[in-house]
Amino acid sequence: MRGRLRSLRLRGEAGYSLVEMLTVMMIMSVVFAGITTVFVAGSKAQNEQDSRFRAQLNTRLAMDKIRRDIHCATDVTPFATNSVTLKLPSGCGGDVSWCTVAVSGSTNRYAVYRQSGTTCSSSGIKYADYLTTPNVFPAFAHASGCGCLASLQLDFPVSLKGSTIDQYELTDTIYLRNSTRI
């Protein structure tokens, strides 16, 4: 009797068929593919956000550094929209030049460099990257007759995409505190 009960019990446990197993595996693969796509998209978005944050932070740091140099400067000569030479007293470290240089291999990407002396190139110290235009010094003003200090305008447009898409822009007009009032 015991053997007969055992054989009846084993016959009732047939298991899953091949069609059922394949159906479950297909459903699971669709679900896992969807989950993987979501994780990959999230990872790419996080990396892009980190890169954008680093570019913006470096641009803010460059703006602070050039602001300190401009505050200490007595004059800006010569003035161009893509480079300036700041005349600094010896107590501020002497003359420095700031310029934008095109990044090789890219059409709309520029970097901001600082170099001691009256010339500037990519051999200087790079302070900012991912600028979309080389003309980051749009205006220098030193009006006569008003008793005003000279001022230099800065415009740093930053975008990882090299266009106005997702562009972050830092602008400021900074006065040369050691310039003469004319």
Residue whose C-alpha is closest to residue 168's, from 135, 127, 129, 122: 129
The pTM is what?
0.74
Q: Which residues contact 123 (CB under 8 A, 6 or more apart)?
A: 113, 115
DSSP string, 56-69: HHHHHHHHHHHHHH
User: Which span out of 5-9, 108-112, 178-182 was modeled with the highest average pLDDT?
Assistant: 108-112
Summarised one tens digit per residue, pLDDT across range 127-147 is: 998 898 888 888 888 877 788
Residues forming a β-bridge with 178: none
Question: Which residue type is seen at 179?
Answer: S
Split at pLDDT 50, 70, 90, the class of 164 is confident
